[in-house]
Amino acid sequence: MNVSEGVLSTYWLWGSGIIYALLLLWIIKRLPWEVIWRERGIQHLFFGSIVVLVLLWQLRAGVSVYLTIHFLGLTTLTLMFGWDLAVIAGSVVLLVMTLLGIESWSMLPVNLVCSVVIPSLVSYGILRWVEAKLPKNFFVYMFLCAFAGGAVAAGVSGMSMALVLWLDGIYPWSKIYHDYAMYLPLIMMPEGLLNGIIMTGMMVFHPDWIRTFDAKAYIDDQ
């Protein structure tokens, strides 16, 4: 869910830019770069995921003059690489989309926060809640972290963008609700299904691709 035109006030752009920059610096500082540079498999999987996501994000629809929707796929990236690398990958994808002229340069900071950072953190938060509160079970992970996680992440991402447009006075809430917010459940369902199907396939055939999935705990010990 992205804003495609330069319509927001400067303080929204600067505020989101500062938030994103601080988070990015923290991510860069905490990532195990020596492992990433050493492991070619991680590099191939990471850049391959970026290519797939660039293609996926081009399948989009406009719901208003300024607001577009598309599949996110950030839940899958978060479960595969962790939220930190998911933010890096999503940022690269959004930068490519902007370089291609599909997204607006002026809206890049807000789009990074609402379409990359927020869904990644929501997906990670759901994962941590499931790990803390529920038993380690293959189907619990699959349905709650992948299917439900993808749906909730898409819903929160879309609502955050809608709230930005409303708080900045671009649209009245009545228009945002009737033209967009009330249809969010219809957007969330295919997003959850897409992430769930992809994650299910990897959990069965390539569990080693998923950083947050312990096959021994979720499968072997059952």
Residue 18 belongs to a domain with what CATH number? 1.10.1760.20
Lowest mean pLDDT among 37-41, 91-95, 117-121, 122-126: 37-41
| Number of domains forming the structure of the chain | 1
Cβ neighbours, 10 Å, residue 162: 24
The pLDDT of residue 15 = 92
What percent of the chain lies above the pLDDT cut of 70? Answer: 90
Cβ neighbours, 10 Å, residue 128: 13
pLDDT band at 124 (very low <50, low <70, confident <90, very high): very high
- Contact indicator for 122, 153 with CB cutoff of 8 Å: yes
| Region 175-190 average pLDDT | 85
The pLDDT of residue 66 = 60
- Give 222 or 199, the one with higher predicted confidence: 199
For 45-95, how does the pLDDT look when each residue is reduced to its tens digit (9 = 90+)?
A: 999 999 999 999 988 766 665 667 778 999 999 999 999 999 999 999 999
Q: What residue numbers bound the domain in which 153 lies?
A: 2-220
**Bridge partners for 70 per DSSP:** 60
The pLDDT of residue 80 = 93
User: Which of 70-74, 147-151, 157-161, 206-210 has the highest mean predicted lDDT (pLDDT)?
Assistant: 147-151
The pLDDT of residue 59 = 81
- Give 139 or 64, the one with higher predicted confidence: 139
- Contact indicator for 210, 79 with CB cutoff of 8 Å: yes
The pLDDT of residue 193 = 94
What pTM did the predictor assign? Answer: 0.90
- Contact indicator for 75, 119 with CB cutoff of 8 Å: yes
pLDDT tops 90 at residue 138 = no
- Residue 68, classed as helix, strand or coil, is strand
- Give 126 or 37, the one with higher predicted confidence: 126
| Region 97-120 average pLDDT | 90
User: Which of 32-36, 40-44, 72-76, 200-204 has the highest mean predicted lDDT (pLDDT)?
Assistant: 72-76
